[in-house]
């Protein structure tokens, strides 16, 4: 249950409400105090009813993210870039899987900036399946991303792998990426709940839509309203592609949640072929963004070599998207 309390409620009365309904409490930017309890609670306690301006009851723990609580898609501001809300923007986020060295990253950033791309991706703490694979440059990589931001004015998205470096990723990035393997880490989710920077949560490959949105609720219930969801493929019986791209799930998330959606066909497909078609199909769904891996020399990439587009492939795909976006009432940014 979600309760709205007026912006001028006294401290003592706030405490009375929380005593009657123990749960999360934060104050929204517009001043309203929000209290959230389990969805099992269905009725406002009569002793504090006088302090409650509005209450919302739910069937399950998708609450703050639910369209039945807030119908409009959330607006996410990343500096002067606006996603969600009434913007009708579909943002292209691009860059290599991993920041490998300064030259590779700066070369990629310069190329993408030249195409008009505003948000640069690049992992520094890589959640690799093998301990013997390249694990990322860590803090050194974050500094290289920061240099690209300073030089080209691009925004940075980079992933947090575990709670040990969450503070560094929060400090350096404009959007914090919580990866498919990290999205159950409540240390990360709770750290991201305490800030206001946008957080993009990727769907785990064995994660149901309910669990996915509940991960977002961990961040939202701490008072950070700026959560974006990212579909990147789930594991099914199919092995010919790396994962199965769950576009039905995307349609469900669009229907029932107020969270902006970014789609990642690169990790779903796992191979270069097909990605341009999947980008066009994704944009046709009317989404808030795409995140695509590109590398100056994909065969030499230290992670996800098979799926990174080279610059020529990226450019021709990118140039095909505005017409698709326009057909569904959106603008590529
Ligand atoms: C990535 O974005 O490079 C990545 C590791 O993605 P995921 O968490 O979806 O596997
Ligand atoms: Mn990758």
CATH superfamily of 75-332: Aldolase class I (3.20.20.70)
Q: How far is CA 131 from the centre of its chain?
A: 26
By the 8 A CB rule, do 200 and 178 touch? yes
The closest alpha carbon to 128, from 303, 297, 245, belongs to 303
Average pLDDT over residues 81-105: 98
Question: Can you give the pLDDT at residue 15?
Answer: 96
Question: Can you give the pLDDT at residue 42?
Answer: 97
Partners of 2 in beta bridges = 36, 56
The token duo for 283 is: 């944009």
Tell me the pLDDT tens digit for each residue of 266-322: 999 999 999 999 999 999 999 999 999 999 999 999 999 999 999 999 999 999 999
Tell me the pLDDT tens digit for each residue of 45-91: 999 999 999 999 999 999 999 999 999 999 999 999 999 999 999 99
Tell me the pLDDT tens digit for each residue of 169-210: 999 999 999 999 999 999 999 999 999 999 999 999 999 999
Q: How far apart are CA 323 and CA 331, in angstroms?
A: 9
Question: Can you give the pLDDT at residue 315?
Answer: 98
- 202 close to ligand 1 (CB < 6 Angstrom): yes
The token duo for 203 is: 């769907």
Name the residue with the closest Cα to ligand 1, atom 4. 179
Question: Can you give the pLDDT at residue 198?
Answer: 98
- 124 close to ligand 1 (CB < 6 Angstrom): no
CA 153 to ligand 1 centroid distance, Å: 24
By the 8 A CB rule, do 122 and 98 touch? yes
Question: Can you give the pLDDT at residue 71?
Answer: 98
Question: Can you give the pLDDT at residue 78?
Answer: 98
By the 8 A CB rule, do 113 and 147 touch? no
- 179 close to ligand 1 (CB < 6 Angstrom): yes
The single residue listed with the structure tokens 């500096």 is 79
The token duo for 39 is: 């969805």
The verdict on pTM exceeding 0.95 is: yes
Question: Can you give the pLDDT at residue 275?
Answer: 98
Name the residue with the closest Cα to ligand 1, atom 6. 179
pLDDT band at 92 (very low <50, low <70, confident <90, very high): very high
- 270 close to ligand 1 (CB < 6 Angstrom): no
Domain boundaries, the chain: 2-56, 75-332
Q: How far apart are CA 33 and CA 111, in angstroms?
A: 45
C-alpha pair distances (Å), 95 with each of 81, 157, 281: 18, 10, 20
Tell me the pLDDT tens digit for each residue of 299-308: 999 999 999 9
Tell me the pLDDT tens digit for each residue of 140-179: 999 999 999 999 999 999 999 998 999 999 999 999 999 9
Mutate to test the pocket of ligand 1, among 159, 182, 205, 303 (most ligand atoms within 8 A of CB): 159
Mutate to test the pocket of ligand 1, among 145, 206, 232 (most ligand atoms within 8 A of CB): 232
DSSP element (H, E) containing 75 = strand 75-78
- 295 close to ligand 1 (CB < 6 Angstrom): no
CA 303 to ligand 2 centroid distance, Å: 6
Partners of 120 in beta bridges = 94, 156
Question: Can you give the pLDDT at residue 204?
Answer: 98
Average pLDDT over residues 110-125: 98
What are the phi and psi torsion angles at 63 (to 5°)? -125, -75
Look at residue 304 and give its three-state secondary structure: coil
- 265 close to ligand 1 (CB < 6 Angstrom): no
Count other C-beta atoms under 10 Å from residue 172's C-beta.
18
């Amino acid at each position: 249950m979600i309760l709205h309390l007026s912006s001028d409620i006294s401290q003592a009365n706030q405490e009375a409400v929380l005593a009657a309904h123990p749960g999360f409490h934060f104050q929204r930017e517009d001043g309203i105090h929000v209290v959230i309890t389990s969805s099992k609670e269905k009725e406002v306690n009569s002793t504090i009813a006088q302090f409650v301006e509005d209450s919302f009851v739910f069937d399950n723990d998708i609450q703050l993210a639910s369209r039945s609580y807030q119908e409009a898609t959330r607006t996410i501001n990343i500096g002067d870039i606006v996603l969600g809300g009434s913007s009708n923007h579909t943002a292209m986020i691009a860059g290599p899987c991993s920041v490998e060295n300064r030259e590779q990253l700066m070369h990629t950033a310069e190329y993408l900036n030249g195409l008009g791309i505003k948000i640069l991706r690049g992992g520094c703490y890589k959640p690799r399946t093998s301990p013997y694979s390249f694990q990322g440059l860590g803090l050194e990589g974050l500094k290289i991303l920061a240099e690209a931001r300073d030089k080209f004015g691009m925004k940075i998205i980079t992933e947090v792998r575990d709670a040990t470096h969450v503070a560094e990723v929060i400090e350096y990035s404009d959007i914090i990426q919580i990866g498919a393997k990290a999205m159950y880490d409540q240390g990360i989710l709770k750290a991201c709940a305490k800030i206001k920077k946008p957080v993009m949560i990727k769907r785990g490959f064995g994660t149901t839509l309910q669990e996915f949105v509940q991960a977002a609720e961990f961040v939202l219930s701490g008072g950070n309203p700026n959560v974006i969801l990212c579909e990147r493929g789930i594991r099914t019986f199919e092995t010919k592609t790396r994962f199965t791209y769950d576009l039905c799930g995307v349609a469900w998330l669009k229907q029932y949640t107020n969270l902006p959606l970014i789609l990642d066909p690169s990790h779903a497909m796992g191979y270069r072929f097909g990605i341009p078609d999947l980008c066009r199909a994704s944009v046709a769904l009317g989404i808030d963004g795409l995140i695509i891996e590109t590398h100056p020399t994909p065969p030499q990439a230290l992670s996800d070599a098979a799926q990174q587009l080279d610059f020529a492939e990226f450019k021709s795909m990118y140039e095909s998207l505005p017409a698709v976006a326009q057909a569904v009432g959106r603008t590529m940014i």
